[in-house]
Structure 1
């Protein structure tokens, strides 16, 4: 599924996962329909693992079935230490839930605080019910509803990522590290 094989056909995640090694961040321009927790977990870890510059996550509670998994945390760590300019930025609304259950990605943020930052958005942004992840300004995973696993991903759609990153930047600008996360990170 290289750039030369791009298609308008929406692939199922099972089709994509069966040939995941052919999906290349910044090259494979193919929309994939995600339907399950497993799809999200596999694609998120695979896409993040190819990142080198910036990973952004917008979520309600940093879903542990996706982001608190060994494969994803290893991918995030690899990105965070790739260069001194690499960044991971996370916006999570439900920090109390994250703090209560613990989270490997937040623990990684504590260890790599110069590269990874977790913030809580202002209340006025709570009407955004979606969840998304963008990688290196080219790849994304988008779920219309954060508490559902149905969504779309693409390893090379800079225009869509630009829209998502613009929303992320606006919310990031009005967010801050809150007391629940600070307790976990310090």
Structure 2
């Protein structure tokens, strides 16, 4: 018999709609920091109106918010009509985008971490299979460390907004 959870919710994702809803739910859990690692800004996920509303609400509801987005594949200039990129251009003091250098292998996973506590992750970016949890600090810390290491090696891209927020 397993132990009952005291906090949070965990669920399995297997469709694009489930992943989108998980990303929105994890974003809604954030109160000061959101870290996103995506391979290609995933059409229908990070440009969905409900996600953009969650990001906007996060920024408007807090004095200090840091949203970092790490993109493995640099979007082409034609993909600059992405609504998340446009929101990043308008909220440059809060959202920072970077890209991975081509020579840096980041694995095939993708994830979204809120406040080092909540996390949605997929082991392979080319499938929708994954897990989301609104309270899993050890897993969020693991992926947060991966994210921070990749962030340190990342680069500013001319195709992405890059005005960094001030450090705390």
Higher relative CO (Cα under 8 Å, sequence separation at least 6) belongs to 2
1:100 aligns to 2:78 (yes or no): yes
Q: CA RMSD in A?
A: 1.9
1:31 aligns to 2:10 (yes or no): yes
Q: Report the Cα distance in structure 2 between the residues aligned to 1:182 and 1:89, rounded to whole angstroms.
A: 11
Give 5+ residue unaligned stretches, structure 1. Answer: 8-26
Task: Give secondary structure in 2 for the equivalent of 1:64.
Answer: coil
Aligned length: 159
Aligned to 1:61: 40
Q: Report the Cα distance in structure 2 between the residues aligned to 1:88 and 1:182, rounded to whole angstroms.
A: 12
1:180 aligns to 2:159 (yes or no): yes
Q: Report the Cα distance in structure 2 between the residues aligned to 1:92 and 1:166, rounded to whole angstroms.
A: 16
User: When the two structures are superposed, what TM-score results if normalisation uses the length of structure 2?
Assistant: 0.87
Q: Report the Cα distance in structure 1 between the residues aligned to 2:22 and 2:106, rounded to whole angstroms.
A: 26
Aligned to 2:130: 151
Which of 61, 69, 75 aligns to 2:54? It is 75
Aligned to 1:130: 109
Q: Does the 8 Å contact 1:92/1:121 carry over to 2?
A: yes
1:165 aligns to 2:144 (yes or no): yes
User: When the two structures are superposed, what TM-score results if normalisation uses the length of structure 1?
Assistant: 0.79
Task: Give secondary structure in 2 for the equivalent of 1:56.
Answer: strand
**Deviations, residues 132-161 of structure 1 (Å, cap 9, x unaligned):** 000111100110111110001111000110
Change in Cα spacing, 1:88 to 1:45, as seen in structure 2 (3 Å) is same
Aligned to 1:111: 90
Aligned to 1:40: 19
Q: Report the Cα distance in structure 2 between the residues aligned to 1:127 and 1:169, rounded to whole angstroms.
A: 12
Q: Report the Cα distance in structure 1 between the residues aligned to 2:27 and 2:13, rounded to whole angstroms.
A: 16
Q: Does the 8 Å contact 1:31/1:153 carry over to 2?
A: yes
Change in Cα spacing, 1:156 to 1:182, as seen in structure 2 (3 Å) is closer
Change in Cα spacing, 1:127 to 1:161, as seen in structure 2 (3 Å) is closer
Q: Report the Cα distance in structure 1 between the residues aligned to 2:75 and 2:87, rounded to whole angstroms.
A: 18
Task: Give secondary structure in 1 for the equivalent of 2:75.
Answer: helix
Give 5+ residue unaligned stretches, structure 2. Answer: 163-168
